[in-house]
Each structure stands twice: as structure tokens, then as C-alpha cells.
Structure 1
Amino acid sequence: MTKSELVAQLALRFPQLVLKDADFAVKTMLDAMSDALANGHRIEIRGFGSFGLNRRPSRVGRNPKSGEKVLVPEKFVPHFKPGKELRERVDGRAGEPLKQSNEPDSDEDDDV
């Protein structure tokens, strides 16, 4: 799901929101979450999951062209950990095969 699809879904679920307002709500929420992570805070949404930061220590890497050693500095990367309810909801589909939108359903009989 893309951000524009999320905006459209929000506008469908709440008819009192015009598309412009739904877009503003999604952008505001994502900006607030990005700002919180950038400031080193953790975000927890009960039942959905939590966003935090993982530290990647500095290391010695290699330039693939020259083979020269390069010091790669430490950095922090965002990390998502799904909550129990989300894990259980996703796991409920564990036995079902994933459907590709461009492939025909395997349940249909061919008339050929």
C-alpha cells in the first residue's frame, strides 16, 4: 500500500473527510512520527507495533573498485517491531497462498 492508497482508504472510511483533509492527516501523522524518531524517541502504537532506532556500529568496509579500506561511521536506522495483535492477524493467513493480482485464481475451472 502506498501513501496515496492510504489517503484514499482513509477518505473512503470517513466520508466527512475530503481527500485533501485525509492527505493532510496522513502527512501530519508521518511527519510527527519521523520527527520523533529523528529526535531519538520510540513510538509505540498498542496492538500495531513499535518504531525505534537500531544502532549500527562503525566498521571497516572496502571500496569495491580500488579495494581500499574505508571507515564506515556508526549510524542509527529505523526499526519496526510488530505488536502481538498484528502478528496474530498476519499469522492467521499463514496457511493461505499469496495471490498475485495479475495471475488468475487457481480455484476457477478452465473450460478448455
Structure 2
Amino acid sequence: MRKADLVNQISEKTGIPKVDVLVTLETMFKEVKDSLSAGQNIYIRGFGSFITKKRAAKIGRNIKRNTAVHIPEHYIPAFKPAKEFVQEVKSRYTGGGSSENEPDDSED
């Protein structure tokens, strides 16, 4: 699903104009980026957490020149889903969900 599809679905389900939904989503994304850049994690109960993970310094390889490259310690953004979120997705694929939206693995 792309961002445009998400905007369309939210607009249809809530009756809010697409422009307002788009502005709200863009603002949310900007706030998540700004918060993580400032070192603040975001916790959304029942959904998950947007966090920063610390990557330790390490030695990498430049395979073209066959040389060692020092990769400094750095932080990366990450998403950790809530237990309820994980359970809902798991149940969907282990027979707990409806069969009409299940992915079709058959090769016809």
C-alpha cells in the first residue's frame, strides 16, 4: 500500500477530505522524524514504538579495493510493534483471521 492508497482509505472510512488527511499524515511523519532526530522516542500504546537504535563501531570491507574501512558508531531509526499488533498479524496468518483476504500462494 502506498501513501496515496492510505490517504484514500482513511478519507473513505472517516469522511474527512483527502487534503486534510494528507496534511495530517505528512505532519505526523514530520513529527516522528523530528523527534527521532532529537533523540526522543515515540510510544503509541497498542501500535508500537518509533525508536533509535545504536549501532556499534565496526570494521567493514571495501571489496573493490580490498581495504578495511572504519564504520563509526551511529544511530538508526527503527519501529518496534506492540504485542497486540504482533498478535493480530500472527493470528491473521495462522488461521485466526478470515480466509477471504489471505494471501494466495497457489501457482495457477
CA distance, structure 2, for counterparts of residue 93 and residue 6 of structure 1: 20
CA distance, structure 1, for counterparts of residue 10 and residue 104 of structure 2: 24
1:25-46: CA deviation from partner (whole Å, max 9, x where unpaired): 1101111111111111111000
Question: Which structure features the higher share of helix residues?
Answer: 2
CA distance, structure 2, for counterparts of residue 33 and residue 60 of structure 1: 31
Alignment TM-score, normalising by the size of structure 2? 0.84
Instruction: Return structure 1 stretches of 4+ with deviation > 6 angstroms.
Output: none
1:99 paired residue number:
103
1:89 paired residue number:
88
How far does residue 94 in structure 1 lie from its aligned partner after superposition?
Answer: 2.9
2:68 paired residue number:
69
1:40 paired residue number:
39
CA distance, structure 2, for counterparts of residue 53 and residue 100 of structure 1: 35
- What amino acid maps onto 1:25 in structure 2? T
How far does residue 63 in structure 1 lie from its aligned partner after superposition?
Answer: 0.7
- What amino acid maps onto 1:78 in structure 2? P
1:3 paired residue number:
3
CA distance, structure 2, for counterparts of residue 9 and residue 75 of structure 1: 37
How far does residue 68 in structure 1 lie from its aligned partner after superposition?
Answer: 0.9
Alignment TM-score, normalising by the size of structure 1? 0.81
